[in-house]
Structure 1
Amino acid sequence: MRMMSLALMNFKNSFRNYLSLVISLSFTILIFFNFQNIIYSDGLAVLGAKNKEYTETVVQVISFVLVCFMFFFIWYSTNVFLTKRKKEIGIYVFMGLSNQKIGRLYAIETALTGVSALIFGIFSGVLTAGLFQMILFALSDIAVEISFQFRIKPVFITSGVYLAVYFIFVLKGYINIVRSSVLSMLLGTKQNEYVKQNVAILFVKAMAGTVVLGTGFYLAVRESGNGVNIMGNLFLAVVFVVIGVYLLFGGLIPFVFQGLAKNKAFLYGKERCLWVNSVVFRMKKNYRTYAMACILILCSVSALATGFAMKNRYENVKIFESVYTFQVLSSWPDLGEEVRGIIGENTEITYSAEIPIIALKEDTVAANENFGTYALVAYSDLKKLAENVGLAFDFQEPEQGQVVRASHLSLLSLITDSSHISVTIGGKVYQQTEEITVPYMGYLQDKVSFYVVNDEEFKDLVPLGQKLYTYNYRMEDLNVFETVREELRRFREDVISDYYMGIVSMDPSKDTLEWIKISYSLCIFMFMVFILASGSIMFMKLYNDSFEEKERFLVLRKIGMSHKVLQKSIAAELGAAYGLPFAVMAVSSYFSVHALELMMKADLRIINVVSVLTVSGIFLLCYILSVLTYQRNVGVSENSLL
């Protein structure tokens, strides 16, 4: 029989065993294909050129993350597949086949599995592409007409990336088999299955894991003396947390369980002997899986928190842009009534306010944020403006040598503490007491760094710059926006050339930040992808473990163990398998979400709790399915008693 025929026969006969692998890989392909389809379809054109460009950049970044995830997921799944198949294909040695031919047989079978997953994933992706975009734009609250558009480029990109990664590990498996002995193939599923680990080594790994993980947590929320949370610290925090989680599952957790196993009072109470010892003996083989699942669900919680933080940021930034419809900046001190008259001829004015500012020369200011354009505002003038506009005003007047910064809202900020910052104005050092983000100065506050000083200080600092007047208006009928803007433009042309006059107009029909709304929706998708991926990894691992446990449970039944005791043991063992990654994630998520809170100045505690509860619900479902499947495969389910 030729190799291809034998491989096809094995593939058909064992397809049921491959099904979990095919479905998991297909899901990964489906998600990656849909992200690529977003880029190459016409759906983003409705956002405008700038929003489309930003959204494509975000999607490309997420696609890179998905490729990294795909790499590790295929690595893990093909290793599990190889371990499971080694004993079966090792029998071919006794049929006279060489290791090279056995390796070829494995490579063909694995390739058939991978290609099947690719075909199923691409087909499912094409069918769900429209639905994916519809959900994406619905979550983003963007009205767009969705039409089916098939593009061949996403198919080629998805197939190329997936096959390149997949066949790396097919080749790795082939080399592994060629270099394996007959004994190692026959005992492939037994290697490292029941191995108690050295207590001293576990203790060292436990201490190292605790220190490394604690360092990662500290770096995630650390603030330096000047209030800057450096991006390098965040990168190091991610690295330390990942390493710490692996050391925790490879050191501290097995160390604790081996200690519990030595405590006879604990071990023999409430029928713990079976499942505790099983966890101890299998931890060396499974700890990487638990660590991977923990990191994935931690990523999912972080992705959801990031999405909601961006949504919150978007809404606040939009408030900045909508406080005033028109802002006129001029050196003319009595311009307000004339501008009011022009606007009032076309629509009612909801509110208006004017305030003098000092536009500072760039070389007179030295500040950490290097904003480039600076201005001063008197405390009493700003308070009066807030009363006219109806904005909250709850900070104290700065003392001599103090300033309060009125800043804009950025998507994220590396400055997490604004109370330890100093700024030099005209050679004098001022202490910044706080930073406020209430949009008193509207859109100008997004482009100019305003510092609030007390009234006396304001008068003394006038010589350092040019005194200008800002006239701010919010009009009621936005339908006449273009008419008013044109009349203001003509008025500016007629103004005497001795005066400076600039106009800022906020077009209500344009939204340059819709890419943030899309990013928010993509973060929700990533949240679901990472949760489902971690759940599928845990289910697949425990599903394969159940086949390896058949003989042990058969022996336990023969020596008189009741099905009820064995069922409780399986439930407890799998509960530990799902519970440990979840517990570590729940603790770690507090620090990752808190770091986001600092950078994005948003309260994400409720999102953290909701995301953790969502993970617990999905893990509970996977746990129940795993228990039922495990009990059936080892022959202790209720059906097996009939």
Structure 2
Amino acid sequence: MTLFSLARKNMKNNFINYFLYFGSMIFSILIYFVFVSLKYDQTAQSAMADSAKINTAFSGASVVLLIFVAIFIGYSNSFFTRKRKKEVGLYALLGLRNKQIGRMLFYENFLMSLFALTIGIGLGSFLTKWFVQLLMKLMGYDVIAKFAISSSAIVNTAIVFLIIALFNSIQGYLLIYRFKLIDLFRADAEGEQEPKTSIQVALLSVLMIGCGYWIALQDIGKSKIWGTLGMGTTALLILILVVIGTYFLFSTLTLTLLKLSMKNKKRYWKGIRLIGRSQLFYRIRGNARTLTIIAVLSATTLTAVGTAYSLYYNSRSMSELMSPNSYMFIANSPNQAQKVQDVISANTNHKVNYHLSVPAIQIDADTSNIMSGSRSTKRTFTLISSESFNKLAAVHKKKDTLSLTGNETVILIPFYKEGQSPDYLGKSIKLLTGHKGETITFSGLKPYTLLNVEITFSTLVVSDELFASLAKKMKPLQLETYGISNDTKAEELTTDIEQLLPRSEEMPSLSSFYRDYSQGLQSSGLLIYMAGFLGLVFLAATGSMIYFKQLTEANADKGRYQILHKIGVNKKEIKRSIAKQVAFIFALPLFAGIAHCSVALSVLSSVLQRNLTVPVLICISVYSLIYFVYYLFTVQSYYKIVVTQPK
């Protein structure tokens, strides 16, 4: 039998042990191939107007994926080292030279990588059309992708992953030179010493994570820590505190709690519970680094996917906040306004819900009383009368009505945040209308706007009397506002209206809800697409890492469980013990990752001023479900190993 045949036979016999690793590699190659293919896909390039930026985004995501996969593959190979020591030692005892054994391991690793690369590229070539179609759907494009195989993407993927495969195969070749023969046979026979616990370090872990959470949850606008250290330094400090705290949590606090639970003799000595808890107690510190990495990766994945999905989920509400009217434009002449009205009325796909002509005045003001710390205290505002506000509020189904007198004013701010936005109430500004100006006082604030932000400045509502007085000095602009049905599908109508209005570099001639919505959908759809697939790759990798670690321990525990079975412990009890032990290992990084993610997304929720509970819960549920599948598979594989009778 040649070394090549022996390597192939080893792959076949150990395939069940390598299954998740092999599957994760295939999935990683598949996603990388799809990302690269999108740069060459004609359907995607022709549909997306901003294809250059999208290509850059996918190239960046591909690099991130590539780095992670390279680390994951190398890290995964290290898990097999302990399991292969006895096998390698046996080959050496039978007379094979180190060079021959190294070549066999080289062939084995390279064949597996080549096999995964072939399947990954094959599946990618077949599924790329559907992935392109999914991207187009998420970004709001109504196009049909064509089946096409990109030779450039195949070459790119093959070269990159063959280099990774070659590197890891060389590592396998060098494995034999790292250990002495006696060490190889005693790999699983090394005694396990009782790990030491420290109450001080356990409390320190809680304190560090608590401090990280406390800093993260501070109001960024008011917090002295954020203000003193700056955004970058504060974020880095939070990351360091949470990561180190998580490591101490797994390596010390968990040990302390396990040791305390073992003092309850009544529960500890019940059934074979002492076996599972003892194994956890003696091995948890050895797993601490792996669990910390998985917790951080889980938190990163959930945060990235949760952020992307939250933006996608809220894309309509964000667009409505910026552009409450389906269309709004400044009418330069009655003839122009009539032409736009005729185009909208002639379109049978959209019903006109309302049409209002709103007189508005754009005026500069001295805001030194409000923005004293700013270099420039001169700002431009858009003024409308309280009568116009009430009409707009009615068509937008707002219950607010204003009745202002004298020089009272109310400001409309769609993204108002207490502590970060200026304090307006009770303060005055001077409208620069002439030599003396006109002083107005803020009597109220509304955290929304009724005019599209794109072609207006900060909106002030003033009394009808004051507006009429100012209109005599400054000619008002005529703002035409429309509300139509099915405005998310108004691409054709929007294009027709844009052709009627002159374009200006200083200010857009038209503000439309559809353009804001479609642009937001494109960017958030692209983000959720990339974050979703990268998240799945990260999840597959983290699940595989725990799987490898547990299989390594299963082989070490095989003799102990077989002794238990011989002395009368049935297989059902053994499987229950295994399930509890593996559940503990799986649950620790998952719960820690969810906790870290929840804090990060609560900060995002505060910044965006949006309730992200629903999209975040959906992401966490899907992630946990897939994670649970890995847990079930690991329990089943662990059980098969420990109950297999020696031949």
> TM-score, normalised on structure 2?
0.80
Matched residue, 2:307: 306
Structure 1: distance between partners of 2:121 and 2:175: 30
Query: What secondary structure sits across from 2:141 in the alignment?
Result: coil
Query: What secondary structure sits across from 2:243 in the alignment?
Result: helix
Q: Structure 1's 385 and 184: CA in aligned 2 closer, same or farther, altered over 3 A?
A: farther
Structure 1: distance between partners of 2:355 and 2:568: 85
Q: By how many angstroms is 1:280 displaced? A: 0.8
Q: By how many angstroms is 1:405 displaced? A: 5.3
Q: By how many angstroms is 1:355 displaced? A: 3.5
Q: Does 1:155 align with 2:154?
A: yes
Q: Structure 1's 173 and 389: CA in aligned 2 closer, same or farther, altered over 3 A?
A: same
Matched residue, 2:259: 258
**Structure 1: gaps (5+ residues):** 409-414, 493-499
Q: Does 1:38 align with 2:38?
A: yes
Q: Does 1:597 align with 2:598?
A: no
Structure 2: distance between partners of 1:328 and 1:366: 33
Query: What secondary structure sits across from 1:49 in the alignment?
Result: coil
Q: By how many angstroms is 1:41 displaced? A: 1.4
Q: Deviations over 1:3-48 (max 9, x none)?
A: 5565445445544543332222112211221122222212322433
2:212 to 211, 216, 238: 216
Q: By how many angstroms is 1:80 displaced? A: 1.1
Percentage of identical aligned residues: 21
Q: Structure 1's 225 and 247: CA in aligned 2 closer, same or farther, altered over 3 A?
A: same
Query: What secondary structure sits across from 2:510 in the alignment?
Result: strand
Q: For residue 19 of structure 1, what is the amino acid of its counterpart?
A: F
Q: By how many angstroms is 1:174 displaced? A: 4.6
Q: Does 1:197 align with 2:186?
A: no
Query: What secondary structure sits across from 2:358 in the alignment?
Result: strand
Matched residue, 1:377: 383
Matched residue, 1:496: none
Q: Deviations over 1:376-419 (max 9, x none)?
A: 435736623523642536598999999745247xxxxxx96555
Structure 1: distance between partners of 2:63 and 2:446: 36
Q: By how many angstroms is 1:597 displaced? A: 1.1
Structure 2: distance between partners of 1:102 and 1:395: 84
1:358, 1:462 within 8 Å by CA — same for their partners in 2?
no
Q: By how many angstroms is 1:589 displaced? A: 3.0
Q: Does 1:436 align with 2:447?
A: yes
- Per mean C-alpha deviation after superposition, the further-off stretch among 503-512 and 218-227 is 503-512
Following superposition of structure 1 onto structure 2, how do residues 565-584 of structure 1 map, counting pairs within 5 Å? 565-584=573-592
1:403, 1:431 within 8 Å by CA — same for their partners in 2?
yes
Q: Structure 1's 144 and 103: CA in aligned 2 closer, same or farther, altered over 3 A?
A: same
Matched residue, 1:620: 628
Q: For residue 377 of structure 1, what is the amino acid of its counterpart?
A: L
Q: By how many angstroms is 1:115 displaced? A: 2.2
Q: By how many angstroms is 1:328 displaced? A: 0.6
1:102, 1:177 within 8 Å by CA — same for their partners in 2?
yes
Following superposition of structure 1 onto structure 2, how do residues 151-550 of structure 1 map, counting pairs within 5 Å? 151-175=150-174, 177-190=176-189, 194-200=192-198, 203-226=199-222, 231-232=231-232, 233-269=234-270, 271-319=272-320, 320-321=322-323, 323-328=325-330, 340-345=337-342, 347-348=344-345, 350-360=354-364, 374-377=380-383, 380=386, 383-384=389-390, 386-387=392-393, 389-390=395-396, 392=398, 394=400, 404=411, 406-407=413-414, 417=418, 421=422, 436-438=447-449, 440-442=450-452, 445-446=453-454, 449-452=457-460, 455=463, 468-474=476-482, 489=502, 503-504=509-510, 506=512, 511-513=518-520, 514-550=522-558
Matched residue, 1:106: 105
Structure 2: distance between partners of 1:582 and 1:103: 38
Structure 1: distance between partners of 2:558 and 2:507: 84
Q: By how many angstroms is 1:357 displaced? A: 3.0
Q: By how many angstroms is 1:472 displaced? A: 2.0
Structure 2: distance between partners of 1:629 and 1:76: 21
Query: What secondary structure sits across from 1:108 in the alignment?
Result: helix
Structure 2: distance between partners of 1:291 and 1:159: 32
**Structure 2: gaps (5+ residues):** 346-351, 432-438
1:352, 1:388 within 8 Å by CA — same for their partners in 2?
no
Q: Structure 1's 253 and 160: CA in aligned 2 closer, same or farther, altered over 3 A?
A: farther
Q: Structure 1's 216 and 53: CA in aligned 2 closer, same or farther, altered over 3 A?
A: farther
Query: What secondary structure sits across from 2:480 in the alignment?
Result: strand
Structure 1: distance between partners of 2:330 and 2:107: 72
Structure 2: distance between partners of 1:447 and 1:56: 31
2:135, 2:525 within 8 Å by CA — same for their partners in 1?
no
Structure 2: distance between partners of 1:369 and 1:40: 48
Q: By how many angstroms is 1:252 displaced? A: 1.6
Q: For residue 29 of structure 1, what is the amino acid of its counterpart?
A: I
Q: Structure 1's 248 and 153: CA in aligned 2 closer, same or farther, altered over 3 A?
A: farther
Q: Does 1:128 align with 2:127?
A: yes
Query: What secondary structure sits across from 1:218 in the alignment?
Result: helix
Q: Structure 1's 380 and 304: CA in aligned 2 closer, same or farther, altered over 3 A?
A: same
Structure 1: distance between partners of 2:175 and 2:376: 56
> TM-score, normalised on structure 1?
0.80
Q: For residue 147 of structure 2, what is the amino acid of its counterpart?
A: F
Structure 1: distance between partners of 2:243 and 2:578: 29
1:551 to 559, 562, 575: 559
- Per mean C-alpha deviation after superposition, the further-off stretch among 339-348 and 289-298 is 339-348
Q: Deviations over 1:499-550 (max 9, x none)?
A: x998325496894442332323333334444444333333333234322221
1:103, 1:175 within 8 Å by CA — same for their partners in 2?
yes
- Per mean C-alpha deviation after superposition, the further-off stretch among 420-429 and 1-10 is 420-429
Q: By how many angstroms is 1:189 displaced? A: 4.2
1:136, 1:521 within 8 Å by CA — same for their partners in 2?
yes
Q: For residue 63 of structure 2, what is the amino acid of its counterpart?
A: F
Structure 2: distance between partners of 1:589 and 1:509: 32
Q: For residue 413 of structure 2, what is the amino acid of its counterpart?
A: A
Structure 1: distance between partners of 2:330 and 2:247: 58
Q: For residue 547 of structure 2, what is the amino acid of its counterpart?
A: F
Q: Structure 1's 75 and 363: CA in aligned 2 closer, same or farther, altered over 3 A?
A: farther
Q: Structure 1's 85 and 271: CA in aligned 2 closer, same or farther, altered over 3 A?
A: closer
Q: By how many angstroms is 1:467 displaced? A: 6.8
Instruction: Kindly report the root-mean-square deviation, in angstroms, between the aligned alpha carbons of the 2 structures.
Output: 4.4
Q: Does 1:585 align with 2:593?
A: yes
1:206, 1:248 within 8 Å by CA — same for their partners in 2?
yes
1:294, 1:582 within 8 Å by CA — same for their partners in 2?
yes
Q: Deviations over 1:180-203 (max 9, x none)?
A: 222332233455x73421123xx4
Q: By how many angstroms is 1:78 displaced? A: 0.6
- Per mean C-alpha deviation after superposition, the further-off stretch among 24-33 and 212-221 is 212-221
Q: Structure 1's 264 and 141: CA in aligned 2 closer, same or farther, altered over 3 A?
A: same
2:88, 2:176 within 8 Å by CA — same for their partners in 1?
no
Structure 2: distance between partners of 1:589 and 1:457: 53
Q: By how many angstroms is 1:369 displaced? A: 12
Q: Structure 1's 363 and 529: CA in aligned 2 closer, same or farther, altered over 3 A?
A: same
Structure 2: distance between partners of 1:369 and 1:329: 34
1:405, 1:434 within 8 Å by CA — same for their partners in 2?
yes
Q: Structure 1's 270 and 529: CA in aligned 2 closer, same or farther, altered over 3 A?
A: same
Matched residue, 2:642: 634
Q: For residue 292 of structure 2, what is the amino acid of its counterpart?
A: A
1:328, 1:503 within 8 Å by CA — same for their partners in 2?
yes
Matched residue, 1:495: none
Structure 2: distance between partners of 1:237 and 1:434: 35
1:58, 1:519 within 8 Å by CA — same for their partners in 2?
no
Q: By how many angstroms is 1:121 displaced? A: 1.8
2:309, 2:528 within 8 Å by CA — same for their partners in 1?
yes
Q: Structure 1's 567 and 483: CA in aligned 2 closer, same or farther, altered over 3 A?
A: closer
